[in-house]
Amino acid sequence: MPLGDFDAELSLSTACQGALEEAFQDLYPKVLAAMKAGDKAGLSITLDMERMKDSPSMVAMAFKITPKFPARSKASLCQVTGDGTKLMTDKPLPEPEVINLFDKKEAK
């Protein structure tokens, strides 16, 4: 990473050359879109800072942003078969076929 002029005061929008803000703007709409009424979700942001060993004024900074999407659950039964290492379960239900009650040509 090339050294800059260091003329921007550190904030969440300037951290890591703006990459934290960019990651947040990318992730929060995806988390919101995955939510249904009553769901909880979140974004966890961690900033790690390390003072450089060979410089009294330099600090290395890194971030990690982790989305937590709403949990979804459903249960089913499985059966252990063969040598005890294979699980078998019911086939997924097929999607219902859509049937038109009226012929499109007859509708006026």
In a domain, 86, yes or no: no
One-letter amino acid identity for 88? M
Owner of token pair 């966890």: 44
Do 48 and 61 form a contact (C-beta atoms < 8 A)? yes
Q: Residue 106: left if φ>0, alpha if ψ -120 to 50, beta else—which one?
A: alpha
What residue numbers bound the domain in which 45 lies?
1-70
In a domain, 84, yes or no: no
Q: Per-residue confidence of the chain (108 residues) as pLDDT tens digits?
A: 456 678 889 999 999 999 999 999 999 999 999 999 999 999 999 999 999 999 988 999 999 999 999 998 888 888 898 888 888 888 888 888 888 888 776 555
Domain count, the chain: 1
pTM given for the model: 0.64
What's the pLDDT score for residue 4?
66
In a domain, 38, yes or no: yes
In a domain, 61, yes or no: yes
In a domain, 96, yes or no: no
